[in-house]
Amino acid sequence: MTCRVASAGSVPSSPTARLGSRPVSTTDWPKVQLHVVTGKGGTGKSTVAAALALALASRGKSVLLCEVEGRQGIAQMFDVSPLPYEERRIASGLPGSEGSAGEVYALHIDAESALLEYLAMYYKLGRAGRALDRFGVIDFATTVAPGVRDVLLTGKVFEAAKDGRKKGTSSKAGQQYDAIVLDAPPTGRIAQFLNVNGELAGLAKAGPIKKQADTVMTLFRSPRTAIHLVTVLEEMPVQETADGVGELHQAKLPVGGVIVNLVRPRDLSAEQLDAARNGTLDRDGIEADLRSAGVEVDKVLVDGLLTEAHDHAERRALEESQRALVHEIGVPIYELPRLPSGVDMGGLYQLAATLREQGMA
């Protein structure tokens, strides 16, 4: 089955995207510039955001990977020094059929630095702004008014989308990033975070902050943006994903795809799984296979293996039920495997290749 996009920001005709189902030259989101990645804590949304950035770079694109939660997660994943409040090149994509690989730049956005930049741009408060920071006024301002904080964070993303330039280029060059990937707050807060107009309704009716919020919303509600949600095949993350999609639709924000992360390998057939759940596996056959492999067989070992097989089959049945619920959400679905050795740079590139093969990038 394949996914296709009729126009930027629209939902592809099929709700699924399968590995190997399309030529690697196609993508489901050809006109999207800003990819927002969200997900419940523990689902691996930051890993998925990093892999998506690498996948986009493998098409020769210049990609900016942004984070706004203050955890320096990008630096840890790419094994680089903590990121400052400026773009830094951190990786290259794998060369593909499009020719030379693109590059991934990273930006760590914090509200305090964004407010200082905002004050310098709009109110010409250079040294005065830094003095306010030393007295704790900046931190106070961004803490007591969370709506303003979100405007500052999203405003920086908007600036990058509008005229974000690679580090080292002149302001006259005007070289834009081909794509931006935002490692956004968790699903439970994503609609509130992106719907900055609604958050400011009781704080600012006019003025520069309100104007900036209005401008940001023109990007977030446009076909240039897609909000992707990361989940795992467990009850709470899947339910939160479904709720998040509903909240985004209600806020008139463009929903992208759902990335099912940490998928276990399907190395047993449906018949074998049923037998494991029902306790009807061929015990004699298992013992014979163990002996042929040179394993000393006893009752405790075989009983333990049968118990593990039963638990695995129960887990797989739960995952399949949750997968069915994910399909009912009605958006494109992509799946990423659980990597046995964990996620390092090699793993990120592997996940990036999988996203590209499935048509997400």
192-201 pLDDT, tens digit each? 999 876 654 4
- 131-136 long-range contacts (CB < 8 A, ≥24 apart) are none
Pick out the chain residues at pLDDT < 70.
Answer: 1-25, 96-99, 115-147, 163-175, 197-209
Q: Is residue 24 part of a domain?
A: no
318 and 351 housed in the same domain? no
Cα 317 to its chain centre, rounded Å, is: 26
289 and 347 housed in the same domain? no
Q: Is residue 14 part of a domain?
A: no
pTM (2 d.p.): 0.82
Helix (H) / strand (E) element for 206: namely: none
For residues 106 and 46, is the Cβ–Cβ distance under 8 A?
Answer: no
For residues 105 and 87, is the Cβ–Cβ distance under 8 A?
Answer: yes
164 and 302 housed in the same domain? no
| Pairwise CA distance, residues 105 & 64, whole Å | 5
195 and 259 housed in the same domain? yes
CATH of the domain at 211: 3.40.50.300
Q: Is residue 361 part of a domain?
A: no
- 278-286 long-range contacts (CB < 8 A, ≥24 apart) are 279/306, 279/310, 281/306, 281/309
For 264-303, b/e burial (b = at least 16 CB within 10 A) is eeeeeeeeebebbbeeebeeeebbeebeeeeeeeeeeebe
254 and 202 housed in the same domain? yes
Tens digit of pLDDT for each residue in 40-81?
999 999 999 999 999 999 999 999 999 998 889 999 999 999
240 and 318 housed in the same domain? no
Q: Is residue 3 part of a domain?
A: no
Number of structural domains the chain divides into: 2
242 and 255 housed in the same domain? yes
Closest to 17 (Cα-Cα) out of 333, 352, 355: 333
Q: Is residue 170 part of a domain?
A: yes
**Boundaries of domain holding 326:** 268-330
